[in-house]
Structure formats: structure tokens, C-alpha cells
Amino acid sequence: MQLESAAVGVWVNAGARNESRNVMGISHMLEHMAFKGTTTRTARDIAEQMESVGGFLNAYTSREQTAFHARVLKADIPLAIDILADILTAPTFESNELERERQVVLQEIGQAKDTPDDIIFDYLQEVSYPDQPMGWPILGDESTVSGFGREDLNAYMRENYRAGSMILIASGAVRHDHMVRLAEEKFGGLALGAPQAPEPARYIGGEMHIGGDLEQAHVAYAFPAVSNLDPDWHVAQVYVTALGGGMSSRLFQEAREKRGLCYSIYAFAQSSKDDGVVGVYTGTGESEVAEIGALVAGEMASLAETATEEEVARAKAQLKSSFLMGLERPSARAEMIAGHILNFDRVLSVQEMTEKLEAVDAAAVRRFGEKVMQTAAPSVATVGPAGKLERYGIFAGRFGLATARAAE
């Protein structure tokens, strides 16, 4: 198929975990402010020039990276690169724009707090990684966001937006030699070097319960797992898919289909360069929440003991199809390339990735599940009427030493 468009973007190897406590949320604020004017373009110029060619420009902030990306027709790639270079090398951070955008971000923080199935993951992250950058909210909080000044943004950018920590990625209707020339032309003036490595992540675990006048209790669990670089990364993906990744998964079948306890329940895996967790989220009723802890622990224990080749093959098929279908979209392919370079310093081939996935068998999933069941301090976060949830000590007792002794 002949492609007529391209996804282009700059991935910066710095995100929320690169912040200090007094500027928590500044990575996200900088992402917003990058679009608010440069030395040669106003905020309106940026929007109008991109939309005049039917293009799309956006950005996002994660704990480890900040990405600025565009989707354009192939003839407009030079314009997209020029705009990306402009906002990343010559932003003005004008005071009036900063004050306006500060209010936008404060509204975003308020909106997140009003969305329990969203904010619960901030609470889960905080209880998993307390008192460290890995546990801070990406958006920051009201006190830090209210205190950002223009020089804070400039200082953070000088430290982190350097040639050694920025990657220009393009996918779709692009030519490599053309992109190299554009990179040299538009980004040749970047300061050399890379930012200081962030503080290592330290999983701790514990509990956090936030009340609220809600109809549903939102419950999330997390357990220490593997990093992006761990050989068991693919095993973790298969494990969470079999546990709670679709309608045929164990959690969905038991919690929703058999018991009718909830509308939504799923398992997930999150990882960084040096750490990771697997977890479970569900939203359920005030009375039904009493059964959730035992159900989740029971299905995790069962999977660790009885994972079958059939369900592992089904999980692998889900993951493989999602991966391969995603590669048909230039934006998803660009995202994949960026992740590979930032984590492995190279791009993994499709064959290598599928072979690693296919190599996962039921024995590997059972072994991984047994390791998760040894967690001494799981993380538990709730929002809403979760007073009937079993006590943390009881839930934690289903894991760790109790599980190890039962297996002896």
C-alpha cells in the first residue's frame, strides 16, 4: 500500500521522574507551553500553519519521556519538522501565556480528581512508590503548578532538552536521507550532552483509601514485576492478558460473567527502564466490593498454578494481533521505534519481537505468576465507598510468606 502521510515527532528522554519536588509537574507544563509561542511564531501561527495543510500536532508527557508529534501529508514533512524544531528550541514562555496555561493545567488537575477511574492510578502509583519522583503525579499538584515561573521552565529545558536526550522519529511516507538533512538543518544548534539520570525507582507498597460520594467503589491493586529491559517483559504481557486482558480472561469470566460483581475489571502491566508492576483494576458496587480482594488473589493464585497452553496461546494471539495491526499506523510505528531506541538503543525487528512473544509458554507464565504471588507488600488504592473491602492485612496475607509456606 502506498502511504501518502507520515508521522513525525521528537521524543525527549525526560519526564515526570526527572523533576525535583518543588517543580513537580513542570514536564507537563512545558509540554503545554511549547505550543504557546516562539521567537518566530505566535500560538495562533503554530495552530494555523499546521491546520492549513490538514495536519495534526500534539504532545504528551509520561514519567520517563515527553513527546511532541505531528501527522501530515508527505509534502508537508518539512513544515512539520520546522514547527517541531521551533517549539523545542525557541519557545518564549511569555508571561501572559504562562498564566493562562497555568489555569488550564489547574483545571486539568481538577478534572482528573473528578474522574475516579483515572485518578485512582495516581494514587496507586503514589502508594507503590512513595516519597520519590516515580510516585509523583505527572500533572503535579495545585501548589507546585501555581508556583512555576518562566525561569523554572527555561532551567528545566536547558537541563533536559539536549542533543543526547532527544530523538527525531519519522514513519510512513518518509526517506531516511531527507530526514537526516532536516534534522541537521533544524536541530543542529541543540546543546550537547544528556540530563542527569533520574532517581532509581524503589517499589514499597501499602494502601491508600480516598472517600467520596460515588455510586461505585474503584479498586486498584499493584504488585512488583519487571522492567522494560527484563527478559520476562513478554511473559508479563502474556500473564496480564491471560489474567484480565479480554472477555475470555480469568478475571472477566469469574468476576463479571459468573458472579456479576462488576461491569469493568482488567489486569495491566506498567514498566520503566528500571522497574515495573502488574496490577488489577475494577469498579464495583459498595456491597460487592467485599468479595473483590479474595477473588483477585484467588484468580492470581489459580493462574500461577494452572495456566494452560490453550489460554496462553489465546493471550499471545491477542497481543500479536494488536501489535501487528498497530504497525499499520505510522503514528504507532513511530511510537514503537522511539520506545525501542530509548530503551535498547536500537530498533527491534518485527521478527525478533514476535519470536520473543511466541517463546512464552504456560510454564513461563506459571513461574512468573508464582513470583508475583510472593509479593510481601502489595499496593492497594481505592476511591469511593470501599469501606467493605477486606482489610489490607488480610489481602496481603494471601501473598508473600503465607503463599510460600502453603506451597512447601
pLDDT reading at 73 higher than 80? yes
Model confidence pLDDT, tens digit, residues 228-281: 999 999 999 999 999 999 999 999 999 999 999 999 999 999 999 999 999 999
pLDDT reading at 2 higher than 80? no
Question: Residue 312: which of 249, 222, 268 has the closest Cα?
Answer: 249
Same domain for 268 and 315, yes or no, is: yes
- Percent of the residues in the chain that have a pLDDT greater than 90, as a whole number: 95
- Read off the CATH number of the domain in which 76 is found: 3.30.830.10
Domain tally, the chain: 2
Domain coverage including residue 75: 5-187
* pTM confidence score: 0.94
In this structure, are residues 66 and 59 in contact, taking their beta carbons and an 8 Å threshold? Answer: yes
Same domain for 163 and 218, yes or no, is: no
Same domain for 222 and 77, yes or no, is: no
User: What span, in angstroms and rounded, lies between the C-alpha atoms of 121 and 244?
Assistant: 17
Residue tagged active-site, from 4, 19, 31, 99: 31
pLDDT reading at 383 higher than 80? yes
Cell numbers placing 1: 500500500
* Residue that is last in its domain, among 156, 187, 218: 187
Which backbone phi and psi does 91 adopt, to 5 degrees? -70, 150
Same domain for 27 and 73, yes or no, is: yes
Model confidence pLDDT, tens digit, residues 141-177: 999 999 999 999 999 999 999 999 999 999 999 999 9
Q: How many CB atoms lie within 10 A of CB 8?
A: 28
Q: Is residue 199 part of a domain?
A: no
Same domain for 135 and 237, yes or no, is: no
Same domain for 283 and 319, yes or no, is: yes
Question: Which pLDDT belongs to residue 406?
Answer: 43
Same domain for 175 and 237, yes or no, is: no
Same domain for 134 and 260, yes or no, is: no
**Which alpha helices (H) appear in 213-329, and where do they start and end?**
233-244, 250-251, 292-306, 309-326
pLDDT reading at 299 higher than 80? yes
Give the chain's mean pLDDT: 95
Residues 6+ apart with CB under 8 A from 251: 243, 244, 265, 266, 267, 280, 282, 295, 296, 299
Q: Is residue 326 part of a domain?
A: yes
Same domain for 92 and 169, yes or no, is: yes
Question: Which pLDDT belongs to residue 194?
Answer: 87
Question: Residue 102: which of 19, 33, 15 has the closest Cα?
Answer: 33
Same domain for 173 and 299, yes or no, is: no
Mean pLDDT computed over 64-70: 97
Q: Is residue 316 part of a domain?
A: yes
Question: Which pLDDT belongs to residue 1?
Answer: 54
pLDDT reading at 403 higher than 70? no
In this structure, are residues 398 and 332 in contact, taking their beta carbons and an 8 Å threshold? Answer: no
194: burial class by Cβ within 10 Å (0-12, 13-18, 19+)? Answer: middle
Mean pLDDT computed over 189-214: 94
**Is residue 64 flagged as an active site residue?**
no
206-210 and 379-383 as β-strands: parallel, antiparallel, unpaired? parallel
Same domain for 105 and 217, yes or no, is: no
